[in-house]
Structure 1
């Protein structure tokens, strides 16, 4: 599961469904990383931070898009 970090431009180019799929995959990876850390089998501790930040970026982008949709619906 050694994925590289996604840039903001890459995330913005994805559709809502792709972002949701990425978020699910990253949450699963975060779960596995936590288990590896608890059992002292973690090879790259910095990966936890990368995954956590990417999850936050995806959630922020999803919230921005939801706000834009609700603002457009009100107008």
Structure 2
């Protein structure tokens, strides 16, 4: 997910996206622990996506105040 895509979301949508990505990360971690994950690089990419979303949410919250 590109940062520009996240910036286009509203604050509530970005928070929902963060929750969705966190659930997906949990699922991938469980699959990785049971050796059912074909591509472990997905974990790293998903963590980076979550970090991007969290950063942009924080920026939007600071800009709101």
Q: Under TM normalisation by the shorter chain, which class is it?
A: over 0.9
Cα deviation, residue 69, structure 1: 1.5
Scaled by the length of structure 2, what TM-score is found? 0.93
Q: Does 1:54 align with 2:49?
A: yes
Q: Which runs of 5+ in 2 are unaligned?
A: none
Higher relative contact order (CA 8 A, sep 6+): 2
- The structure whose Rg is larger is 1
Q: What is the aligned length?
A: 65
State the match for 1:40 in structure 2: 35
Determine which of 21, 29, 41 is the counterpart of 2:16. Answer: 21
Per the normalisation by structure 1, the TM-score is 0.81
